[in-house]
């Protein structure tokens, strides 16, 4: 990295930035976040790094008062790149236009595409200053991009006071005293110099600014406050017209000179004033108006009185085109100090609606709060406040949502709005770990008389939320007692009521009707997937999960797609299709990563347990919060793993934990583990009770998997060959390969105990072969031990080629083997095509192949 002059005391930081840009120039991209207090030197380092030779430099800067305009920061960064592309990607047209509903992930991919086009000519350096003030949508997209440039000739450097914790960061501290002294003027009195050194604590901007007030007595305040006070003192010395011009410039966050001068003209200020304002050193008036430091902008706005600020916003609103930029005009009108004004409030509400549709939920929340404050009508004020609370929650601002909801006086509200308040309290409680379902139930009860249909929906809201937090049983009782009858054909709630009150056999037809209803699946995907699983029919479950994924993709809902993929993975685990499971897990993780969220853990738990991966299961079990349904998933997975390892005591304890809460699907699917463990531990009563419950559950669906598992459970208790044969007959007709192989193992073990060595070896050899081919290592090892004990020999089988690949690599290999292009795979995993190609090179190396065609020839990936 070539630079014109070194910075004082930042040698190590410059070396780190040099390594970053050098790696990017070689095609190994990366990102770095410079963090620290105001004035610590973040912007100076950015100015230094942007001089790196050979790079195309694109820049953006967050502005405190622009953080309410979605994609404003991203537009700054992309503007120089748009002219290099053949056409603007559709996702960016939606993001930068006033209409359209951009998908943040697709916007991120579009930005990656723009950068990739530019990087074909020379490496790209993205410099983002004051990133903590970026609008929410821009921050999300840029973090998304920064996590996906490892294989690109791209470097991204952010400067932020905080945030972007998911990216590599460097905390900037104050300069050492010897370096700090170099920044101070030599003409200063030694006593003053020592005082400033003590007060500045190594902050470079403070060292440069505090000497301006060296004649003043010291004030006990923070360094940023002292720096801002210095800027305010400069502002106060200016003539009134120059101060007004600076206030207008500070109130216009984009730094658009045309707009600022048009607004200044509204106030009677001419261009000659700029020279006086610039002489203060606070701002530059050029092709873009820039303040010398973000604290200078803040100082100007805080130094101005309320009427000066209001006048600046009124003039900016008057100068803003209401057709080309209605949202910015509405924002300035909202800040213009008009007092309660229903017209302005309605304009802000419309702007918030557009911002929310374009992905700016955080912006929508702020604008709605202002709209509520300006509302004359109490009903409109309440409705706009509720809308702001919903937007705050959507943006992850739980504390802000709580404070905002507390401003609503519910005493004078009608029942419908009181119910809305309860719903919001429920969502806040759920997000913060409280008893959300209780508030949801209260909302449903409030509506039982005024709107029975909506009351039923909120009962289901409560139940769905309770399923997630693992308290479904108590909520289901309340739902059964409180929900009004369905006005039309039976629905999901009717199926649940029948399941609880009349049992699985009676509820079977209603369960099938519920999971066949596309409307029910779209409205309640989590419940639909669990009801499908209650049928013990893997084909029906695969059909439902496929429809959930398609519904999520069509509606643009990442969470619904993730749920569908996670359920797809779990169903594939039960069917022994570990390649499909791994692929679905990789895609779910990619979407979660794109959203900056943790992936869903339960499908990985299921896969680790079925494969006998003890270390992976232990690692997953200790990650994050283990409450609610995740605990039941972990107990089931643990029981499954221990049965594979023939540790029946541990399996029994885990299976009892898994079945105790009575959760949908999980309590049922853990019953076979409970029967096997209990029968092996001599706990006959527990085994018989579990086998009886399993038989009742599986008869409801009448599917081969369920009937086969129930027959196998009977066989474990009766040790009757007819039961084993019936189980295998059913399972041979089902896709549940792991359960078929396990039944062969159990049958072989039974035959060996009865000293029928020849018959035992036949079944144990088949079980070992099937379990090995599936990749169920714990059960395969158990089958091998039984086969040796029966006098049989083990034929070693090579491990599947895919075992050495990561989930993401398996997903890429699988789709490439079916003919997908790098671009198609990249879009599915939210990566760049260049990154997919890099993964392919790694896949080829691991598998010992040299082309896509050779990859298709491997048994693991053969279409």
pLDDT at 99: 55
Q: SS3 letters for 330-380?
A: HHHHHCCCCCCCHHHHHHHHHHHHHHHHCCCHHHHHHHHHHHHHCCCCHHH
For CA atoms 249, 366, 432, 101, the dihedral sign is negative
pLDDT at 649: 98
| Token duo for residue 264 | 């200044």
pLDDT at 473: 58
Counting every residue, how long is the chain? 863
pLDDT at 55: 96
In sequence order, the β-bridge partners of residue 124 are 56, 154
Nearest alpha carbon to residue 681 among 651, 658, 707: 651
Nearest alpha carbon to residue 665 among 496, 552, 812, 779: 496
Region of 557 (left: φ > 0; alpha: ψ -120 to 50; beta: rest) is: beta
Q: Which helix (H) or strand (E) holds 159?
A: strand 154-160
DSSP state of 7: P
**What are the E-state strand segments in 36-136?**
56-61, 124-129
**What are the E-state strand segments in 263-331?**
283-285, 289-291
How far apart are the C-alpha atoms of 291 and 286, rounded to whole Å?
Answer: 11
Characterize 549-572 residue by residue with b for buried, 16 or more Cβ atoms within 10 angstroms of its Cβ, and e for exposed.
bbbbeeeebbebbbbbbbbbbbbb
SS3 of residue 59 by DSSP: strand
How far apart are the C-alpha atoms of 379 and 304, rounded to whole Å?
Answer: 35
- Report residue 443: phi and psi, to 5°: -65, -40
How far apart are the C-alpha atoms of 728 and 766, rounded to whole Å?
Answer: 12
pLDDT at 1: 34
pLDDT at 5: 46
pLDDT at 560: 86
Long-range contacts of 676-682 (CB under 8 A, 24+ apart): 676/643, 676/648, 676/651, 676/713, 676/716, 676/746, 677/639, 677/642, 677/643, 677/648, 677/649, 677/651, 677/652, 678/652, 679/716, 679/717, 680/646, 680/648, 681/648, 681/649, 681/652
Residues of the chain with pLDDT under 70: 1-6, 65-66, 68, 98-101, 185-193, 210-223, 358-360, 433, 467-474, 480, 485-489, 624-629, 797-801, 862-863
Which domains, and CATH codes, for the chain? 11-171 (3.40.50.300), 805-857 (1.10.10.10)
Q: Which helix (H) or strand (E) holds 32?
A: strand 30-35
Characterize 128-151 residue by residue with b for buried, 16 or more Cβ atoms within 10 angstroms of its Cβ, and e for exposed.
bbbbbbbbbbbbbbbbbbbbbbbb
pLDDT at 358: 67
Name 200's Cβ contacts closer than 8 Å, sequence gap at least 6. 174, 180, 206, 207, 210, 223
pLDDT at 539: 94
pLDDT at 703: 95
How far apart are the C-alpha atoms of 392 and 409, rounded to whole Å?
Answer: 19
pLDDT at 202: 77
pLDDT at 626: 52
SS3 of residue 34 by DSSP: strand
How far apart are the C-alpha atoms of 644 and 826, rounded to whole Å?
Answer: 37
In sequence order, the β-bridge partners of residue 290 are 284
Q: Cα dist. 28→20, 152, 192 in Å?
A: 9, 6, 48
pLDDT at 371: 93
Long-range contacts of 749-758 (CB under 8 A, 24+ apart): 749/786, 750/715, 750/719, 750/721, 750/724, 752/786, 752/789, 752/790, 757/790, 757/791
pLDDT at 529: 87
pLDDT at 4: 44
How far apart are the C-alpha atoms of 711 and 689, rounded to whole Å?
Answer: 14
pLDDT at 218: 44
């Amino acid at each position: 990295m070539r630079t014109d002059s070194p910075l004082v005391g930042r040698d190590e930081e410059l070396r780190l930035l040099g390594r970053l840009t050098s790696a990017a120039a070689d095609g190994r991209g990366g990102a770095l976040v410079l963090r620290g207090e105001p004035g610590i030197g973040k912007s100076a380092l950015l100015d230094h790094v942007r001089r790196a030779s050979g790079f195309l430099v694109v820049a953006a800067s967050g502005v405190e008062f622009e953080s309410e305009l979605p994609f404003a920061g991203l537009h700054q960064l992309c503007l120089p790149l748009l002219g290099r592309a053949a056409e603007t990607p559709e996702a960016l047209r939606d993001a930068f236009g006033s209409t359209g509903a951009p998908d943040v992930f697709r916007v991120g991919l579009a930005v990656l595409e723009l950068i990739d086009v530019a990087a074909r000519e020379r490496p790209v350096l993205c410099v983002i200053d004051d990133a903590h003030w970026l609008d929410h949508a821009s921050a999300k997209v840029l973090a998304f991009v920064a996590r996906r440039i490892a294989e690109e000739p791209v470097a991204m450097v952010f400067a932020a006071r905080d945030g972007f914790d998911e990216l590599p960061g460097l905390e900037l501290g104050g300069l050492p005293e010897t370096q700090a002294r170099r920044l101070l003027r030599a003409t200063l009195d030694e006593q003053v110099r020592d005082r400033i050194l003590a007060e500045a604590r190594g902050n470079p901007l403070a060292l440069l600014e505090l000497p301006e007030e060296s004649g003043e007595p010291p004030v006990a305040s923070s360094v940023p406050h002292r720096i801002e006070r210095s800027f305010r003192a400069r502002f106060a010395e200016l003539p009134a017209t120059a101060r007004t011009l600076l206030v207008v410039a500070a109130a216009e966050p984009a730094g658009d000179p045309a707009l600022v001068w048009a607004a200044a003209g509204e106030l009677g200020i001419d261009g000659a004033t700029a020279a006086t304002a610039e002489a203060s050193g606070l701002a530059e008036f050029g092709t873009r108006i820039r303040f010398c430091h973000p604290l200078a902008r803040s100082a100007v706005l805080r130094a101005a009185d309320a009427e000066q600020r209001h006048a600046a916003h009124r003039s900016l609103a008057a100068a803003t085109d209401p057709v080309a930029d209605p949202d910015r005009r509405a924002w300035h009108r909202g800040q213009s100090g008009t007092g309660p004004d229903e017209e302005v409030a309605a304009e802000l509400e419309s702007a918030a609606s557009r911002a929310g549709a374009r992905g700016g939920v955080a912006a929508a929340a702020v604008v709605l709060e202002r709209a509520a404050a300006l509302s004359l009508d109490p009903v409109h004020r309440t409705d706009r406040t509720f809308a702001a609370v919903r937007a705050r929650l959507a943006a992850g601002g739980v504390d802000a949502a709580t404070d905002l909801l507390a401003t609503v006086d519910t005493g004078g509200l009608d029942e419908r709005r009181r119910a809305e308040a309860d719903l919001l309290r429920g969502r806040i409680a759920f997000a913060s770990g409280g008893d959300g379902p209780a508030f949801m139930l209260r909302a449903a009860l409030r509506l039982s008389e005024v709107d029975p249909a909506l009351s039923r929906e909120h009962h289901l809201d409560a139940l769905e939320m309770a399923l997630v937090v693992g308290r479904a049983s108590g909520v289901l009782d309340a739902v059964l007692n409180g929900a009004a009858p369905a006005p039309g054909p039976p629905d999901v709630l009717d199926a649940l009521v029948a399941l609880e009150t009349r049992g699985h056999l009676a509820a079977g037809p209603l369960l099938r009707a519920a999971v066949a209803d596309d409307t029910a699946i779209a409205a309640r995907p989590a419940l639909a997937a669990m009801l499908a699983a209650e049928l013990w029919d893997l084909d029906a479950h695969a059909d439902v999960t496929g429809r959930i994924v398609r519904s999520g993709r069509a509606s643009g809902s990442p969470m619904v797609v993730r749920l569908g993929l996670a359920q797809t993975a779990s169903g594939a685990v039960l069917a022994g299709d570990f390649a499909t499971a791994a692929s679905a897990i990789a895609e779910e993780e990619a979407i979660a990563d794109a959203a900056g969220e943790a992936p869903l853990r339960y499908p990985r738990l299921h896969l680790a347990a079925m494969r006998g991966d003890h270390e992976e299961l232990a690692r997953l079990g200790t990650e994050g919060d283990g409450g609610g349904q995740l605990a039941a998933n972990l107990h089931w997975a643990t029981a499954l793993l221990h049965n594979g390892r023939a540790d029946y005591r541990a399996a029994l304890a885990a299976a009892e934990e898994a079945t105790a809460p009575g959760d949908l699907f999980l309590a049922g699917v853990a019953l076979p583990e409970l029967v096997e463990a209990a029968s092996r531990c001599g706990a006959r009563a527990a085994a018989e009770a579990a086998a009886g419950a399993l038989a009742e559950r599986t008869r409801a669906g009448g599917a081969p998997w369920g009937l086969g598992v129930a027959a196998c459970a009977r066989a474990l208790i009766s040790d009757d060959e007819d039961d084993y044969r019936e189980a295998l007959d059913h399972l041979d007709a089902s896709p549940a390969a792991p359960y078929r192989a396990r039944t062969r193992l159990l049958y072989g073990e039974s035959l060996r105990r009865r000293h029928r060595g020849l018959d035992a070896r036949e079944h144990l050899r088949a079980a070992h072969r099937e379990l090995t081919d599936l990749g169920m290592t714990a059960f395969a090892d158990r089958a091998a031990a039984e086969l040796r004990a029966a006098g049989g020999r083990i034929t070693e089988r090579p491990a599947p080629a895919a075992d050495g690949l990561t989930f993401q690599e398996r997903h890429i290999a699988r789709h490439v083997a079916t003919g997908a292009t790098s671009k198609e795979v990249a879009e599915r995993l939210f990566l760049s095509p260049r990154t997919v190609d890099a993964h392919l090179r790694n896949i080829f190396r691991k598998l010992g192949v040299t082309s896509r065609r050779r990859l298709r020839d491997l048994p693991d990936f053969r279409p």
